[in-house]
Amino acid sequence: MGHSVVLYFSNTGHTEAVAKNIAAVTGAQLVAITPQQAYTAADLDWNDHTSRSYHEMHAGRVRPTIQPIEAGIVARATTIYLGFPLWWATAPRPIDTLLDSLDFTDKVVWPFCTSGSSPIDEATSQLRRDYPAVAWHTGQRFTSQMTGDDVRDWSQLI
Ligand SMILES: Cc1cc2nc3c(=O)[nH]c(=O)nc-3n(C[C@H](O)[C@H](O)[C@H](O)COP(=O)(O)O)c2cc1C
């Protein structure tokens, strides 16, 4: 079995908890995607149309700087679990920064998310459209009630 990695972006801990669960079940390496400038509560206010998150998600092509992730982590991986919270039903821009900064060509990537209620479908179709060189696998939204069996069902490990 090849090397697998969980890459995740999380601000308020929901996606991080899911990422840790997936890493525990699959044995994958756990790696956080960390923005160079952390998002404050004000940055994450989706009702405020002048907030950082609103701007990043609505102002064309924005790529917030993230702390570099060693290229070998992705290069060595045969399976990548990519986790993020949904923002306006799609993947936050730091995910685009990551996908633009390392070579994910032909990498098998399993997207997963947490959200208030939105399903992952819009996010996955946007990722497939914007990053066609990636071998995208079926995405999965997890809740805080998730179990290891949910991970196994999704990733068909057993
Ligand atoms: C800027 C912003 C936009 C959001 N947009 C949505 C949305 O469109 N649909 C939804 O169900 N939840 C939305 N949420 C809620 C988050 O997806 C949810 O709280 C998520 O679990 C947060 O993950 P985290 O704790 O890992 O950061 C939004 C949250 C933020 C901060």
- CA-to-CA distance for 148 and 128, rounded, in angstroms? 27
pLDDT score at 82: 98
Tokens of 46: 């989706």
At 89 the pLDDT is 98
- What Å distances lie between residue 128 and 16, 33, 97, 110, 131, CA to CA? 23, 20, 15, 11, 5
Which atom belonging to ligand 1 lies closest to the Cα atom of 117?
Answer: 11
Q: Who lines ligand 1 at CB under 6 A?
A: 10-16, 44, 46, 53, 85-89, 114-118
Contact 135, 106 (CB under 8 A): yes
Q: Residue range 105-128: average pLDDT?
A: 97
Give start and end residues of each alpha helix (H) in 59-147. Answer: 71-76, 93-101, 121-130
Ligand 1 atom closest to 13 (CA): 25
55-86, pLDDT tens digit by residue? 999 998 999 999 999 999 999 999 999 999 99
Check: CB of residue 130 under 8 Å from CB of residue 98.
no
User: How many whole angstroms separate alpha carbon 2 and alpha carbon 14?
Assistant: 27
Q: For a pocket test of ligand 1, which of 86, 88, 113, 117 has the largest count of ligand atoms closer than 8 A to its C-beta?
A: 86
Mean pLDDT for the stretch of residues 130-156:
93
Tell how far the Cα of 1 is from the centroid of ligand 1, in angstroms.
34
| Cα–ligand 1 centroid distance for 79 (angstroms) | 25
Domain span at residue 131 reads 3-155
C-alpha of residue 40 to centroid of ligand 1, in Å: 14
Give the distance (Å) from ligand 1 centre to CA of residue 12: 9
**By three-state DSSP, how is residue 51 classified?**
coil
CATH classification at residue 93: 3.40.50.360
Compute φ and ψ for 11, nearest 5 degrees. Answer: -105, -40
At 156 the pLDDT is 78
When divided into structural domains, the chain yields a total of 1
Please tell me the distance from the alpha carbon of residue 102 to that of residue 75, in angstroms, as a whole number. Answer: 9
Task: Over range 14-36, report the average pLDDT.
Answer: 97
